[in-house]
Amino acid sequence: MNLNSRNKVEAAFSMASMTDLIFLLLVFFMLTSSFITPSGLPVNLPSSKASTIEVQKVSVTVTKDLQFFVNDKRISRDQLENELKGHLSEPNGVVVLHIDKSVPTEELVNVAGMATNLQAKVSIATKPK
């Protein structure tokens, strides 16, 4: 009684399907990842050793000639708190400050104080060293 089969099992492993799968995963993650683009007007930011990227909903920019911008919209210093109140509908929002390094520290403290009075987290934008 001969029980041997006519079809032989080949012991070779094909990597073609594995490379296709890895390529598809790479394309999937590239298309679904969210890219964080920094917003704000071009100002000369101060530099720091530790720089983290914060997801920002509200961006406040103060230029060297003390012009105020909220999300690229120019406003006066008097309108700043009301504009922030309108943009910070939820508590614990994030306000990212883009302040030129030649602006006096008093202006930085005033803007940060307005944001913290509205119960927002304040983050200062810097450029890495």
C-beta of residue 24 within 8 angstroms of C-beta of residue 32: no
Determine, yes or no, domain membership for 57.
Answer: yes
Domain carrying residue 108: 47-128
H-helix or E-strand spanning residue 68: strand 68-70
CATH at 111: 3.30.420.270
pTM for the complete prediction?
Answer: 0.59
| pLDDT tens per residue across span 36-68 | 555 556 666 666 666 565 555 788 888 888 889
Q: Spell out the long-range contacts of 110-115 with Cβ–Cβ below 8 A and sequence spacing 24 or more.
A: 111/60, 111/62, 111/68, 111/80, 114/80, 114/81, 114/84, 115/60, 115/84, 115/88
Structurally, the chain folds into a number of domains equal to 1
**pLDDT value at position 129?**
72
C-beta of residue 123 within 8 angstroms of C-beta of residue 94: yes
Determine, yes or no, domain membership for 15.
Answer: no
| pLDDT tens per residue across span 62-85 | 888 888 998 888 998 888 888 888
| Percent of the chain surpassing pLDDT 90 | 4
